Chain A
Amino acid sequence: MPLDPKARLEELDFSKLGLKVGLEIHQQLATQHKLFCKCPAELVEEDAEDVFPRRLRPTRSELGEVDIAALFEWRKGRVYEYHAPRTASCLVEADEEPPHPLNEEALKIALAIALALGAKPVDEVHVMRKIVIDGSNTTGFQRTAVIALGGHITLSNGKRVGIQTICLEEDAARKLGEEGVKTKYRLDRLGIPLIEVSTAPDLNTPEEAQEAAYVIGQLFRLTGRVRRGIGTIRQDLNISIEGGAKVEIKGVQRLDLIAKVVAYEALRQYRLLQIRDELKARGLKPEDLDNIEIIDVTDVFRNTKSKVIKRALSRGGRVLAVKLPGFHGILGVEVQPGRRFGTELADYARFWGGVGGIFHTDELPAYGITSEEVEKLYEVTGARKGYDAIVIVADEEKKARKALEAVIERAKQALVGVPRETRAALDDGTTRYMRPQPGAARMYPETDIPPMEVTEEILREAEKLVPEPPAKKLERFVREYGLSEELAKQVIRDIHLDVFERLVEKYKGKVPATLIAYTLVSTLKNLRHEGVPVDNISDEHLDEVFGLVAQGKIAKEAIPDVLKYLAEHPGSTVKEAIEKLGLGAASLEEVQRVVDEVVEQLRSEILERGERVFGKIMGRVMARLRGRADGRVVAEIVKKKIREVLGSQ
């Protein structure tokens, strides 16, 4: 049966695929300082900064090996431009001062999470250097330490998912962008403590993977000691199917994307295996791809209309081609929606050759390349039509050659199956080739930091930070704070859980817990749905708003308007919001006056329908007072007034 060129998710049966997923979840901890210096663990947007360029050199680890990807970036002459904001980075981030000892606060929070997961803390923490080659660490390595081993979580279907390791590590610098061989980073994020929880590959469906990530993420939040917001939690996924390979997918920033990424990767591996079988069926062997000649086909394109090729030639480049025997049709086969096998080849060409992309016969003629040119290509390369595929690259000769060597290498792997590689998650849930998977050799001891013994004392303090289990918390919220079970559940799931607990304790007896809960889980959500940028609302804003409610300075009905104003006017204060909105609480006289006026307007209706008009009156009064009065107080006055009208009859 010929290969369907479309990749269809529907045809996958995950239970039969032998899908195995392991998660690595990274969460920034809310500590006062960074992990190895005294800088605040904060991001800054506008700040005086120092800028300097650096290069990173591939080093041979103590194990004698060189990271090929690192070597490659270095050979390409990659330069990293670091932007060092002065309030959030120091010489430690600039790699100009040795790291200070491990931040004990971070260790305690991480140990608390480890204990909550039932993991076993190590007896002594050894900080390691994990070689990171992309410039995101000024040192060229990430400092990381295992702090606990083992433990598990339980999914809603009752499945126990093992935890393998729990690490404490430093976050990387923030990438600002790329310009040619220059990559720019800001150093504020570098050094913020991260906890990394790695699960066993026990997850067998996309949904399980997503739920596991959710459960672990919730546990982090339950501690109240982790940072919130975009980029503070990141997931890496290790995915394989039976007969495939363990592929590492980096940087999934959205929880709700996990199931999709897993499903798409399973699909990709499944499709790659189908491609392998098809190639085998065509009688191809890996040896057939040995000694493939790279042919200069520049002459074919002397008068080409292709803009890409014209540009390359005008810069002194060449057009090189390879024939992939028996690959006709394969390059056009989708491995994920919108990503074909040809895309996989192009990814390799870009990474290893630094070229813009490739053209191949499964998509030609197109892009200004004519059918005559394609004909000639077949002629020059001696490729068989309807059987072989031809890949061409137009660029500087050296780069084009490297690119095609990588294309051949990748094509060869197609006959084996799924290559082990590190891929980057894209916004639509598909992935792109990032680099080969590094070997285990890229880890060695960080000798600038002495090992830290996990003493009884540290463990005792960590125990104090162990979060209350969700079920217990739920029960307590209902019993102690009088929340409905549904609202309590929502609060526990919400990212503002820590804010809720803090504010409820702070305004005990002054602001009802339900109001705080409702505001955090419902009001903010509604505002977000309306398109209000609620991320601009800080914890301090929320605290202040409830403080004013507690003092009776604003009515609870005013909360949504105040929050909306704060969100839409970043940098403004609660005081300003109230002034601008004219929201000082209304005086009793004012309330009386408004009620009088509304009742007067509706007098005949009241006389006709009696107390049933209450709701209508309330609505009008509250609308005119715009949340400046407490509904209960208004209701009392309205009721009294209705009785007066009816009584005066």
Chain B
Amino acid sequence: MATILAGFEGLVMPGDELWGYTGEAARLLKEAGAEVGDRIRITKPDGTVYEGILMPRYALAQKPIIVVKLDNGYNIGVRVERGTRIEVVEKRRAKVGAVVTVPLLEESPPAGPKPRVYILGTGGTIASKVEYETGAVKPAMSAEELLEAVPEIGFIADIDAGVLFSILSENMTPSHWERIVDEVAKLIQEGYDGIVVAHGTDTMSYTAAALSFAFHRGLPVPVALVGAQRSSDRPSSDAAFNLHAAVLTAAKAPFAEVVVVMHGETGDTYALAHRGTKVRKMHTSRRDAFQSINALPLAKIWPQEGRIELLVKEYRERGREKLVVENGFDDRVALIKYYPGMKPEIIEFLVEQGYRGIVLEGTGLGHVGEWLVDSIKKAVDAGVVVVMTSQCLFGRVNMNVYASGRKLLAAGVIPGSDMLPEVAFVKLSWVLKRARDPEEAKRLMLENLAGEINPRHTVNLYPKWPHEP
């Protein structure tokens, strides 16, 4: 009984809220004095009896239905109506003592000096539990708990861990990037040999880019962002595999760069360490959603074998640079995807609102409808920095090929080369915090600061799409 309730800690809400129950269901439960975790008996007007443990109800579905866990472990929903009786059979018992947990590995890591790695939790699926309020998976586990869940990492490094914050990655903002940069910088100064940042996958590549620019002048150790596409509450989760690979990267990689470490293919074989400025989430749900675009990943990471296989020759070497932090991101930057028929008002609105930078995701080589050129020119004249990227993602913008591109260049649009739109967006947000004027901003946007621009695309840098059934 005690262990059954372990998962409910923190879910029991105070006051009148009845764990998602409303209306008749809430009234009946209140009358019976029933609380989540209590064993209750529901007797319907027709005499049918259900007995089980009262579970919280998903707040999003407001129906007169009470969820109970039967003795065989199954949950069912029982509809209640006038005349339904609810009794508490047994109050939930207080938790007695600590839960005894069997360690996953029998062996302990060998003694002796090991690299020191810090795992910084920021939220995301790599650390999650079931949330009854919505029935969805929500970040809940502390980063320390990861150590217990993935004991293998203790064989690679001495692990310290802490939670900076715990938010879904879609709720991440530039001010969160700044806090992560500060924290990572602090940890590097404390002497860690590598930092792992556990992060939700949806906006992980934005944060990776932000860290890349903030540390582009000097980074002595690797910073590995990691997440999971399958929640860590399931046996098939990729969380442990990815974390294992990320810790290996942080502890042992010969490079000192900001990277995203995630599954390399659908099987549990290797992970890839992607450069933080060249990576993108390319699939909504697959484990291997993260891919390097217009570049090769830095390395294949084989966590089970403890092996790092470098894929590129050029990288920033571990231990060569001293830490230099340039933190700060301007939140008055917009990323706009051009679509046929887009109206100039959108650009004008941004200028009126005081935006200082606009990244356009244009068509093909970097175009927008010709009727937008005037509004863009006005924006540039008003001091707004406008950068062009391509919604093709693969390839480079080239605005000299067609007249419409040349008109945009003449209007003052900065061609974003092969930068991913999101990376250009993060970069511009970073640039605008430090450039004294639009001219300097332009110079910085054109310069390859953190590996965000690849001047050479070889033929192989494009996926082979399937054509055969």
Contacts and interface: CB of A to CB of B under 8 A. Distances in A.
A2 B269 CA distance: 57
Interface in B269-303: 269, 284-287
Contact of A165 (B4, B74, B132, B135): B74
B65 A52 contact: no
A444 B130 contact: yes
Prevailing SS type, chain B contact patch? loop
B440 to A, nearest CB: 45
Contacts of A95: 230, 236
A176 interface: no
A470 interface: no
A40 interface: no
A53 B284 CA distance: 21
Contacts of B63: 124, 453
B235 A57 contact: yes
Given A62-B233, A453-B63, A54 B267 contact: yes
Contacts of B137: 447-448
A238 to B, nearest CB: 12
Interface residues of A, number: 61
Nearest to B102: A66
Interface string A27-53: 000000000000000000000101011
Contacts of A122: 76-78
Contacts of B241: 55
B130 A447 contact: yes
A131 B235 CA distance: 8
Contacts of A58: 104, 235
Interface stretch (A67-75, A275-283, A305-313, A617-625): A67-75
A271 B327 CA distance: 75
B76 A59 contact: no
Interface centre among B268, B284, B286 (most CB of A within 10 A): B268
Interface in A248-276: none
A147 B58 CA distance: 19
B268 to A, nearest CB: 5
Contacts of B3: 63-65, 441
Contact of A54 (B4, B70, B236): B236
Interface centre among B67, B101, B135, B469 (most CB of A within 10 A): B135
A398 to B, nearest CB: 10
B233 A59 contact: yes
A134 to B, nearest CB: 11
A167 B72 CA distance: 12
Interface stretch (A135-143, A325-333, A424-432, A578-586): A135-143
Nearest to B73: A443
Contacts of B101: 60, 64, 66
A451 B236 contact: no
B400 interface: no
Interface string B53-78: 00000100101010100111111111
Given A52-B266, A53-B268, A140 B77 contact: no
B7 interface: yes
A445 B75 contact: yes
A549 interface: no
B240 interface: yes
Contact of A68 (B102, B233, B285): B102
B234 A128 contact: no
A123 B78 contact: yes
Nearest to A94: B266
B74 A443 contact: yes
Contacts of B75: 126, 128, 445
Interface in A295-309: none
Interface in B219-246: 230, 232-237, 240-241
Interface string A130-174: 110100001111001110010000000000000001010000000
Contacts of A71: 102, 104
A451 B102 CA distance: 33
Interface string B119-140: 0000000000111100111000
A98 interface: yes
A62 B130 contact: yes
A126 B76 contact: yes
B103 to A, nearest CB: 9
B67 to A, nearest CB: 7
Contacts of B74: 126, 128, 144-146, 165, 167, 443
B77 A125 contact: yes
Contact of B234 (A54, A59, A133, A144): A59
Contacts of B284: 97
A130 B75 CA distance: 12
A450 B61 contact: yes
Interface in A410-461: 440-445, 447-448, 450-451, 453
Nearest to A140: B235
Contacts of A165: 72, 74
Given A58-B104, A64-B6, A122-B76, A91 B61 contact: no
Contacts of A641: none
Contact of A447 (B73, B136, B237, B266): B136
A553 interface: no
Closest 4 CB pairs of A and B: A140-B235, A124-B77, A443-B73, A52-B267
Given A91-B286, A451-B67, 20 more contacts: A53-B267, A54-B268, A56-B235, A57-B235, A58-B235, A60-B101, A62-B130, A66-B101, A71-B102, A75-B106, A95-B236, A97-B284, A122-B77, A124-B79, A131-B235, A440-B71, A447-B135, A450-B135, A451-B77, A451-B135
17 contacts: A53-B267, A55-B241, A55-B268, A58-B104, A62-B7, A64-B7, A70-B235, A79-B268, A95-B230, A123-B76, A139-B235, A146-B70, A440-B73, A441-B3, A444-B130, A444-B233, A453-B65
Interface of B: 3-4, 6-7, 48, 58, 61, 63, 65, 67, 70-79, 99, 101-102, 104-106, 129-132, 135-137, 149, 230, 232-237, 240-241, 265-269, 284-287, 468-469
Interface of A: 48, 50, 52-60, 62-66, 68, 70-71, 74-75, 79, 86, 91, 94-98, 120, 122-126, 128-131, 133, 138-141, 144-146, 149, 165, 167, 440-445, 447-448, 450-451, 453
